[in-house]
Amino acid sequence: MDTPQPKRLLSLDFMRGLIMVLLALEAAGLWEHLQKNSENTILHGFFMQFDHHPWHGLRAWDLVQPAFMFMAGVAMAYSLHRQQQQSYSWGQSFRKALKRSFWLFFWGVLDYAVRRNGLSFELWDVLTQLSFTTLLAFLIFRWSAAAQIAACAALLLLTEALYRFTNVPGFNQPFTDQHNFGNYVDLLLMNKINDGGWVAINCIPTAVHTIAGALAGKLLISNSTRKIHLLLGWGAAMLILGYGIDAIGITPIIKRIATSSFTIVSLGWVLLVLAACYWWIDIKKHPRHLTFFTIIGMNSLFIYLFFEIVAHRWFNGYIGAITNGLMDIAHIPTAISAVITSLCIFGLEWGLCYFLYKKKIFFRL
């Protein structure tokens, strides 16, 4: 007798695909070219939303990683629900989660491992962070919602305590770039500090995103008739709380060290986006024209590793040499040719995902 499967969450497929499209376009250089070409125009402010805020503040691009980690939690809820229907024991599910976390960590480290001057060990990649957050979310998945929310609060309070009260000489300025506790931990773990201010212990507060995603997934699987109301209510509450903490000067919104206010605000925005997508796609049944995004989202791990490792080190330059050479012959302005090259790179990557999609080849951990 076949075991009934939970209904596929089309809004999650769309959100995952949208995130991967945005990331692939960034890796192809499109946002950088548009920012440069739009300087001194009214469009420059818009295109700057596709870059991280330099420190204290929030841009749209700062929501990409939280959404990525949140969606991993939602997908986990659906996966564990299927496993439960298939009579998996907790131990069997744990081994699958542990294996997944190991491979996420492996690929995350490998992403930055090979450099021109040799091998490098770095823990700043989103996959490395996700290896910790998914495992933690799994370990508390069977707790009550109240207990999981309490665990999220504890993670944020722990983050606050580490930054404020450790008082390591030279690294005792909680919210100052290059002089905070996260930088100190990176020196201990990797013997280096990230020039951009990113820190490895971001995995502690951002575990809240994955745990919250798992809770949202449970809600969407349930028979509740208040799913949209709860998502909207929690999203609004997180925005008020997070922006309020920042506004009254308790903790600034800083994405690069994932402060508690940033974690809360970004979670609020992601909850609102999920509510909107779920209402439009899964409730109102408007799944048309989403295939473009789901094709790349169905192989999100593959395409992420492709444009981070293969494209960054070889593919982009090779395709760029061809397209730029042809456009030089046609005397197309450099600014326009750069944008066209980025779109060509992305188009080829999307085509590769389409080939895998048609062949029903999906790379999963």
Q: Is the pTM of this model over 0.75?
A: yes
pLDDT band at 281 (very low <50, low <70, confident <90, very high): very high
Q: What is the mean pLDDT of residues 135-159?
A: 97
**pLDDT at residue 57 in the model:** 95
Q: 54-58, 123-127, 155-159, 160-164 — which is least confidently predicted? A: 123-127
298 part of a folded domain: yes
Report if residue 113 sits inside a domain.
yes
Task: Say if CB 202 and CB 150 are below 8 A apart.
Answer: no
Query: Could you count the other beta carbons within 10 Å of the beta carbon of residue 277?
Result: 19
Residue 119 lies in a domain: yes
User: What mean pLDDT comes out for the span 166-192?
Assistant: 95
| Distance in angstroms (rounded) separating the CA atoms of residues 365 and 355 | 20
Q: Is residue 155 part of a domain?
A: yes
Q: What is the pLDDT of residue 5?
A: 54
Name the token pair of 10. Answer: 């089309």
Which has the minimum average pLDDT: 32-36, 166-170, 196-200, 282-286?
Answer: 282-286
Please report whether residue 350 resides in a domain. yes
Q: How far is CA 350 from the centre of its chain?
A: 19
pLDDT beyond 80 at 203: yes
pLDDT at 220 over 90: yes
Q: Which of 3-7, 35-39, 157-161, 289-293 has the lowest mean pLDDT?
A: 3-7
Domain count, the chain: 1
Is the pLDDT confidence value at 55 over 70?
yes
The answer to whether 78 and 9 have CB atoms below 8 angstroms apart is: yes
Is 135 within a domain? yes
Q: What is the pLDDT of residues 331-354, one digit of tens each?
A: 899 889 999 999 999 999 999 999
The pLDDT value given to residue 1:
38
pLDDT in the model for residue 72: 95
pLDDT at 338: 92
Q: What's the pLDDT at 2?
A: 45
- Is residue 160 scored above 50 in pLDDT? yes
The two tokens of residue 284 are 């109102």
Residue 89 confidence (pLDDT) above 70: yes
4 in a structural domain: no
- In 28-89, where does DSSP find H-type helix? 30-37, 44-47, 64-85
Domain residues for the domain of 47 are 10-358
Question: According to the model, what pLDDT value does residue 3 have?
Answer: 45
Q: What is the pLDDT of residue 298?
A: 87
Q: Which residues contact 27 (CB under 8 A, 6 or more apart)?
A: 307, 308, 311, 312, 316
What is residue 6's predicted lDDT score, i.e. its pLDDT? 56
Q: Is residue 252 part of a domain?
A: yes
